[in-house]
Amino acid sequence: MKEVMLDCFGEACPVPLVKAQNKIKELEIGDVLIVQIDHSCAMKNVPEWARKDGYNVEVEEVDDGEWEVIIEKTK
Amino acid sequence: MAREKVVEHYDVVIIGGGPAGLSAAIYTGRARLKTLLLEKSLIGGLATYTNEIANYPGFPTAPKGEEITNLMKEQAKIMGVNFKLTAVSSVDLKGEEKIVETFRNKYIAKAVIIATGGRSRTTGAENEEKFLFDKGISFCATCDAAANTGKHVVVIGSGDAAIEEGMFLTKFADKVTVSVMHDYPKMDCNEIAKEAVFSNPKMEFVWNSVVTRFEGNDHLETVVLKNVKNGEEIPLVSDSCFEFIGYLPNSELFEDQLTLTRQKYITVNEKKETELEGVFAIGDVTDKYLKQIATAVGDGAIAGTVAERYIAEKEFFDTKIMQSEKTGMIYVYNAIDAPSREFLGTIESIEKSQNGNVAVSRIDTYKSNGLALMLKVEQVPAIVIVKEGKISEKIYALDEVAIKNAL
């Protein structure tokens, strides 16, 4: 089980979402993907996609306008 | 194998970030309690689905729900509240330490405030999702009735809520058509409502019907009902449909912790206390009369304040009253009772006569009865004697000799 950081700072929608979707395919079950974003629209669509796919999701506001979307690949 | 969860301690954990939870957070944050608010999706909760909130006092411009709840969030942040946007996976609220777990963390709290809200049941008809909330399908006449002045509206359901809200709608709309699943004249509402509704000239009924489809472009235009007996479709031209077919409180997490009502609501008293000490519930997840932002924030204020007092009393109880250093004497009285008040002098003289060997506490139940409940006294006034950190005797008489003998 590993944690993988995905730096999407400075990237606008839908780039963070697409990157996250591609990255999670490379991961094993139980791994955690941390998507770093500063575009508020990705703050909505990335967690929404991950929840819909049934993964565990947590969003953390690390700084003003900067978030980490933490996704655990559960299946 | 499960990942090791990070353990964090808080005074208060609030589950749910709608108006009720945010209001509670503002109160506990302001009381300098270390507060965590957990929200599974959007801060603001159901209120964020509303485009115009016209009846929340203090906002005459009818802003978007999100605008109001963002301000609440900002206010809670100023009070030092921590936010985590993640779902709660399990809770254990029965012990003194309340445990709330998410997939990455285990939070241990002194008090927990449940503000998980609920959702209206939907029909599941075709295209329903396209028109929910501000696109034509509503679940709240109090919220949206005024926008239907002079119009034709459709109501789905025949329970108390459907019929009472439908009657309310006739004050604004020209015509209210009610879709009822049953044969004429069976309805699920109470008899009084039924009688009133039949004599209301603005109400019409489509019996044996359910919604099969919603039609329209950007906004709802037609509600298509279907006769459940012969399958015939009945299109009703209306840009506004109210569904009152039940409400589902988000209480699944607490099913094995708290007794829920038949409709799955959490029961609370006036102070928003549940049957478990240190666990409070507020907002739409509780069995309440009116589900509005205005009532939710009121609930939050109460729970925040009561939680603060509970934590303070609990700490006082554990460290001062149940101390094991000395023999303890606790005088529980009600200050509005004159003899009890006068006996304070006797308590003082007993304290002096013991030369500092007895730790004396005075608890006025007129201000708060929380400590009296923790001591489990059966009546007031009472004198409770504590030896080696345990209650050794309870005296229910203002009797100086008996007290001295017990010490």
* pLDDT one digit per residue (tens) for chain B, 407 residues: 456 889 999 999 999 999 999 999 999 999 999 999 999 988 999 888 877 888 999 999 999 999 999 999 999 999 999 999 999 999 999 999 999 999 999 999 999 999 999 998 999 999 999 999 889 999 988 888 888 999 999 999 999 889 999 999 999 999 999 999 999 989 999 899 899 999 999 999 999 999 999 999 999 999 999 999 999 999 999 999 999 998 899 999 999 999 999 999 999 999 999 999 999 999 999 999 899 999 999 999 999 999 999 999 999 998 888 888 889 999 999 999 999 999 999 999 999 999 889 999 999 998 888 888 889 988 999 999 999 888 989 999 898 999 988 88
- Other beta carbons within 10 angstroms of residue B363's beta carbon come to 26
CA distance, residue B38 to nearest chain A CA (Å): 10
Strands (E), B208-346: 209-216, 220-227, 233-237, 241-243, 247-249, 279-281, 327-333
pLDDT for res B323: 87
CB contact under 8 A, B3 and A30: yes
Classify domain B324-406 by CATH number. Answer: 3.40.30.10
Q: Does B401 touch chain A (CB under 8 A)?
A: no
In chain B, DSSP finds a helix count (H) and a strand count (E) of 9, 21
Residues B58-116 have pLDDT tens digits of: 999 999 999 999 999 999 999 999 999 999 999 999 999 999 999 999 999 999 999 99
Angle at CA of residue A40, ends A39 and A46, nearest 5°: 85
A5-59 tens-digit pLDDT: 999 999 988 999 999 999 999 999 989 999 999 988 888 899 999 998 999 999 9
Contact B1 A59 (CB under 8 A): no
A13 CA: distance to closest CA in chain B (Å): 19
Is B85 close to A59, i.e. CB distance below 8 A?
yes
Compute the distance between CA of residue B395 and CA of residue B333 in angstroms, rounded to an integer. Answer: 12
Q: Does B5 touch chain A (CB under 8 A)?
A: no
Q: Report the greatest alpha carbon distance in chain B.
A: 91
Residues B278/B91, Cβ–Cβ less than 8 Å: no
Would you say domain B6-119+247-316 falls under CATH 3.40.50.150? no
Q: Out of A30, A32, A58, whose CB is closest to B86?
A: A58
Q: How far is Cα B111 from Cα B307, in angstroms, rounded to an integer? A: 7
Prediction ipTM score: 0.82
Q: Determine the pLDDT at residue B2.
A: 57
Residue B3 with chain A: CB contacts under 8 Å: 1, 30, 32, 72
Q: Which residue is catalytic, options A4, A13, A15, A32?
A: A13
Q: Which domains does chain A have, with CATH numbers?
A: 3-72 (3.30.110.40)
Strand partners, A5: A34
Determine, for residues B104 and A58 on separate chains, whether the beta-carbon distance falls below 8 Å: yes
B49 inside 8 A of chain A by CB: no
Q: How far is A69 from chain B (nearest CA, A)?
A: 9
Which of B41, B83, B103 is the closest to A56 by Cβ? Answer: B103
Q: Which residues of A touch B104 (CB under 8 A)?
A: 56, 58, 70, 72
Q: What is the pTM of this model?
A: 0.83
Most A-contacting residue of B1, B38, B40, B103 (CB-CB within 10 A), to test interface:
B103
Whether B24 contacts B115, CB under 8 Å: yes
Domain boundaries, chain B: 6-119+247-316, 122-243, 324-406
How far, in Å, CA of B37 to CA of A47, rounded? Answer: 18
- In this structure, are residues B36 and B82 in contact, taking their beta carbons and an 8 Å threshold? yes
A4: helix, coil or strand? strand
CATH of B122-243, one of 3.40.50.150, 3.40.50.40, 3.30.470.20, 3.50.50.60: 3.50.50.60
Domains B6-119+247-316 and B324-406 share a fold: no
Looking from the CA of B109 toward its CB, the CA atoms found within 13 Å total 35
Longest dimension (CA), chain A: 32
Catalytic annotation on A13?
Answer: yes
Whole-angstrom CA distances from B154 to B148, B188, B296, B367 are 11, 17, 28, 52
Q: Do A60 and B87 touch (CB under 8 A)?
A: no
